Structure 1
Amino acid sequence: MRSRLSLGQVVGRKVMWDNRKSNQAKGDLWAPCPFHQEKTASFHVDDRKGYYYCFGCHAKGDAISFVRETENVEFMEAIRILAGEAGLQIPESDPRAQKVADRRAELVEVMEQAVRFYRMQLKTGAAAEARAYLAGRGLDEAAQGRWEIGFAPPGWQTLGDHLRGQGVPDKALLAAGLVRASDKGRAPYDTFRNRILFPIRDPRGRAIAFGGRAMDPDDNAKYLNSPETPLFDKSRTLFNHGPAREAAGKGAPLIVAEGYMDVIALAEHGFGAAVAPLGTAVTEAQLAHLWRIADEPIIALDGDTAGQRAALRVVELALPLLTAGKSLRFVLLPEGQDPDDLLRAKGPAAMAGLLEEAQPLIRLLWQAATEGRTFDSPERKAALDKALADKTALIRDQGLRRHYDDELRQLKWELFRPPARKKAGGGMAFKGKNAPAQARAGTRASMLATGTLSEDHLREAVILAVLICNPAVLHDFLGELEGLHFTDRTHGALAHALLIAPPDADLRPYLAERLGPGALEKLFADTHVALTPAVRRPGEDAARMCLAEELAKLNARRGHRREIAEAEEDLSAGLADEHVTARLAQSSAAMDRAGRAQTGEDRTEYEVGANGAPINRRERAALDEFLAGLRLEKGSGGTT
């Protein structure tokens, strides 16, 4: 194939040669580079050696790589394109495959003859109304030519008679879907009659089907596609696939619209990477095609109820197929408008603005679950949790599913607990139902009300501080953190911010930005936090050990308190028996075990003082030794 191809001819379809700098006779060709925007001729083709090189962007390669890059296709597709230009048949794997390929080639030629016939019919008097309709939609004669739009006359056998006269047998016409067999014993009749026709081409540019719009308003089918044929499978085909793939390869956003006219309007207004499914919802095979072209295709649907339902069907289809880097974005147009309407009414700038604001898939998922609903009871909130969990459970990629759950958790937090208002000078001020409750008369003398911290409060602070100082272990403790109930509002806000923090976030600036610097200052100002070894000297091993112990002790204490409360209820109800005593004994033993290491040997680096603060054992021993020396010196009459 390389020996038959001229690289100059392959490249020449995409560039304008600089005749002052090029020497055609020697195969020394220069042009502005097709891979980056420039005015100078820095792109060089050595036609004799079959290689190109750009001295600006350093792109290089041969005819195959040139077609792959400019057409945005895979290797084998580039081979097929070049083999067709070189007049070479790609060897098939077996004779049957070769026979199928030959049959497809024959049908493609029949379809191309039909395209030419319908194009000629659009210029006849019978097509006057069709031409007026197209002009009214903003398509002049040049645009009609670019899209090869044609017209099928009202007669029953106009196309069939024409192609039979060209030597095409009825068998081929039926196989191509251009005519249908009569159930009354008559000759096959034309599939399309009195319709504007849009040729449908495969990614390689071969005509494989037609889409027709009825001119008769009373026609049962406003739009009609060719039937399924050896060439055409509508569930695997996209209108404008090839040109859109090439435009997307040059950086244009890939847009998925609903119909032919939407795609044509988008492309005519500068959005060349536009495609459409063919009369059905987007299929899994079409999604696979879209993701080969672009990582995040934009689904642009009509702004009516049907468009919204179509968007949700795409979401349902896409969720199990999502992977890292492969997703969808959505644009819902103003109600009652499709892309063609919007472009004609407000121009390309309006469409470009909507595309810039395209919403990620998760926002559409959230909108569908919450729009028009209230969540003023635990039951309704639980129903929302279940509905969202059912959706994210469809995502097969576990890492991606975790990010979806994190984002939805943040959205629920914002929905149920509106963000606090920042006070002047830092910190947070709360309003309305989110304001901290005033201390009651019966609680003003409690430890928390008087400023003396409870042991639970101290342990919560240590857990949060260790996680903030050791972000590498945060992911391993997300489940435990999510299950904790915090006694302090600031602690709860810090915990939630940690749960939704991006994996690569610098935690201190991130938390300060979300909650204000006052929250962190308050946390780390406490002596018991400052003395914690995993805070003073961060390290993964020390942090894991500290967190495991603090969580075990906190959960054991809270569990013991619950057992005591239940035992009191049983006693007051006269239900006390040996089971209550056994439960309390087991709970007390669990709390005792939590105060020691799992092996039964106390290996902790610190112990809890009388006030609940952790004290480093080595420092405690050194202090005790120092105080003992002072006492001895004092006892011997020395000066202290």
Structure 2
Amino acid sequence: MSLPPGFLDELRNRVTISSVVGRKVVWDMRKSNQAKGDYWAPCPFHQEKTASFHVDDRKGFYYCFGCHAKGNAFTFLQETENMSFMEAVETLAREAGLPMPERDPRAAEKADRLSELAKVTEAAVRFFRMQLNTGAAAGAREYLRGRGLAQSALDRFEIGYAPDARQALWDALTGAGIAGDLIIEAGLCAKPDDGGAPYDRMRGRIIFPIRDGRGRCIGFGGRALSANARAKYLNSPETPLFDKGRALYNLGPARSACGKGQPLIVAEGYMDVIALSEAGFEAAVAPLGTAITEDQLRLMWRVSPEPIIALDGDTAGLRAGFRLIDLALPLLGPEQSLRFCLLPEKMDPDDILRQGGPAAMTKLIEGAVPLVQLLWQRETEGKVFDSPERRTALDNRLRDALAKITDPGLRGHYTDEIKRLRFEFLRPAEATGRKQSLAWGRRATPAKPLSSTRGTRLASAPDDAIAEAMRVELILAILLCHSALVPEFEVELERLNCRDPALARICAAFVTGDTPPPADADALLALPHIAIAPPVRQADAQFARLCLRDEFAKYFARGGLDAELREVVEDMDTLADESVTFRLARATAARNESERSRLNDSTDLGEDRAALSGELQRLIESQIWIKPKK
């Protein structure tokens, strides 16, 4: 069975040779460099202890320096699994999810046709290059000089010029004996619908030849010189040779430069790539005038595990980066990701190099941010999150985005990083430049209680359980209003006993780092005793921190001392000695001490100063309320 020429290339793009060989060998990680696709292992074809078997992921070949075995992914399966060539192809195709092509007896004929088309495009390259030196190309040469391109750059990238004539290329190629149907099929000329003579597709443009990874010219890009042109940049149409969604400009040289340790930089256009390469950043590629496709992204990862996307510093550049996030998320893995180099506003790589030179570009590349940071920027930039509903909507969007990541471990790390960014972003600003008095003094002459006061929960049912519940409500309400303090009190939150389901949901959300349910939060903050509480109404984080320390201390002191008192009372029936009396007196005194607030109204109160008395604080920290019974 003959296979279409492009099928094997597509299969090699989808399946790395290291993933095939890795099933049979154990990599020597001290010698291997995964970032460069360079792997070493003991040879599977002969007995040895040293790692002399080399696999090059970028080139797609293996070689043993001991037994001299060599080949690609197909030959490796043939040698190790005793497969035929077609069986190896079918095995890899199944793994890659690529359907095998139908049997085509004309496959060889098609391959010959592609070779003929490649010869036509090479002839066009020579024609365009010669035209750049003619008098008609004076404007093109002036433009290129203005962009700072020397003759060496023009030769290196084979830049040419398409004359502003209807049939200049057609006449040149047909005059050289090339068949007209080949010229049209190669996308160089078009035949009008009215049946007239074919005309050149590229006219009055600077020409950039586009080559595939094997160096074949598969198409052209043209930059218009006239301001009245319908399109500033024009690519060759889709042809049997050229599929712009599966090709990258400057792919071959960039792959070689990456093999020497340079980072892969993905710029927007031809001139950006040329400027980067001339400045020493030779591992630069560009999509061909459209948004990056999945095939182009996989092609980038074949060259480098972490390409750097250099976005133009404008709205369109950012939008392109944001769209790329959604494309990349389902494809991410531990060894293939993206970083984003955010350029200054209204500047591209060429502008950066002109103004600051290679050093300025190097600094921007080294400061490239990971994909997760651009995802966060996309969901938060220019938005206000001043209500529970807006914050919940943000959480839902981020949750949906992270759900696209298929690798469980990677998804977990992304979730952790998003939680960290969310905490930093939504943390309320602490008051600075002023200190508040924390006076909770008593009135000299108590006022007569109002009827509304006598109807409160505490007054109507002065039970210890109600007091405890109200204290829990106050603690959670303070943390709702001062979410930045949550990490300081995580241990205490885990020990809270929330009998009310709504309070339990709020507490659980704080412990797990999620957003408390908006309905529960609003209901809690609407309670009368919460609405008037100073630490809830005021924005001073230091004041709120001291109040929380005090309330937690009272909560745990009361719970522990109540348990001790109950135990002492039970022991009185069996042990009537002085130790029981001592324990009862000490427990009662400690409980009374815990009911008194120790907040100081001094302006010199520091964060590390205990809010309770020394004796009670020592009991709380050690959680030893009374000496154990002997």
2:230 — aligned with what?
220
2:620 — aligned with what?
none
Q: How does 1:241-640 map to 2 (within 5 A)?
A: 241-418=251-428, 431=432, 438=438, 440=440, 485=476, 496=487, 612-613=559-560
Provide the rounded CA distance (Å) in 1 between the counterparts of 2:209 and 2:418.
44
Give how far 1:628 is off: 6.7
Structure 1's 559 and 210: CA in aligned 2 closer, same or farther, altered over 3 A? closer
Deviations 1:553-604 (CA, angstroms, capped at 9, x unpaired) = 76679679xx9xx9xx9xxxxxxxxxxxxxxxxxxxxxxxxxxxxxxxxxxx
Give how far 1:616 is off: 13
Structure 1's 456 and 361: CA in aligned 2 closer, same or farther, altered over 3 A? farther
1:74 pairs with 2:60:
yes
Structure 1's 442 and 275: CA in aligned 2 closer, same or farther, altered over 3 A? farther
Q: Of the candidates 102, 114, 128, which is equivalent to residue 112 of structure 2?
A: 102
1:240 pairs with 2:187:
no
1:149 — aligned with what?
159
Q: Aligned residues, how many?
A: 440
CA contact (8 A) 1:297 1:329 kept: yes
CA contact (8 A) 2:330 2:406 kept: yes
Structure 1's 140 and 231: CA in aligned 2 closer, same or farther, altered over 3 A? same
Structure 1's 245 and 616: CA in aligned 2 closer, same or farther, altered over 3 A? farther
CA contact (8 A) 2:184 2:191 kept: yes
TM-score by length of structure 1 reads 0.58
2:216 — aligned with what?
206
CA contact (8 A) 2:120 2:186 kept: yes
1:11 — aligned with what?
none
The amino acid of 2:401's aligned partner reads: K
Give how far 1:390 is off: 3.7
Unpaired runs of 5+ residues, structure 2, are: 1-32, 34-49, 63-69, 76-84, 90-102, 444-457, 459-466, 506-519, 527-554, 580-629
TM-score by length of structure 2 reads 0.59
Structure 1's 311 and 498: CA in aligned 2 closer, same or farther, altered over 3 A? farther
1:164 pairs with 2:150:
no
Give how far 1:173 is off: 0.8
Q: Which has the higher contact order (CA 8 A, sep 6+)?
A: 2
Q: Secondary structure at the match of 2:210?
A: strand
Give how far 1:246 is off: 1.8
The amino acid of 2:303's aligned partner reads: I
Structure 1's 555 and 270: CA in aligned 2 closer, same or farther, altered over 3 A? farther
1:139 pairs with 2:125:
no
Q: Secondary structure at the match of 1:107?
A: helix
CA contact (8 A) 1:458 1:612 kept: no
Provide the rounded CA distance (Å) in 2 between the counterparts of 1:235 and 1:352.
29
CA contact (8 A) 2:262 2:283 kept: yes
Provide the rounded CA distance (Å) in 1 between the counterparts of 2:556 and 2:222.
84
Give how far 1:172 is off: 0.9
Q: Secondary structure at the match of 1:267?
A: helix
Deviations 1:440-465 (CA, angstroms, capped at 9, x unpaired) = 5689xx9xxxxxxx9789999xxxxx
Give how far 1:250 is off: 2.0
Unpaired runs of 5+ residues, structure 1, are: 1-34, 36-57, 84-89, 421-429, 447-453, 461-483, 500-519, 524-528, 530-546, 570-607, 633-639
Give how far 1:308 is off: 1.8
CA contact (8 A) 2:498 2:504 kept: no
Give how far 1:79 is off: 6.5
Q: How does 1:172-183 map to 2 (within 5 A)?
A: 172-183=182-193
Provide the rounded CA distance (Å) in 1 between the counterparts of 2:61 and 2:392.
50
Give how far 1:332 is off: 2.3
CA contact (8 A) 1:459 1:554 kept: no
Deviations 1:81-134 (CA, angstroms, capped at 9, x unpaired) = 9x9xxxxxx999864333322221221111111111211111222222211211
Deviations 1:370-424 (CA, angstroms, capped at 9, x unpaired) = 223333333333333333334334334444333333323322322222476xxxx
CA contact (8 A) 1:258 1:276 kept: yes
The amino acid of 1:109's aligned partner reads: K
Q: Secondary structure at the match of 1:280?
A: coil
Structure 1's 59 and 160: CA in aligned 2 closer, same or farther, altered over 3 A? farther
Structure 1's 359 and 485: CA in aligned 2 closer, same or farther, altered over 3 A? same
Give how far 1:247 is off: 1.3
Give how far 1:487 is off: 7.2
Give how far 1:160 is off: 1.7
Provide the rounded CA distance (Å) in 2 between the counterparts of 1:261 and 1:239.
11
Judge which range, 91-100 or 378-387, deviates more.
91-100
Structure 1's 382 and 170: CA in aligned 2 closer, same or farther, altered over 3 A? same
Q: Secondary structure at the match of 2:59?
A: coil
Give how far 1:181 is off: 0.8
Q: Secondary structure at the match of 1:309?
A: helix
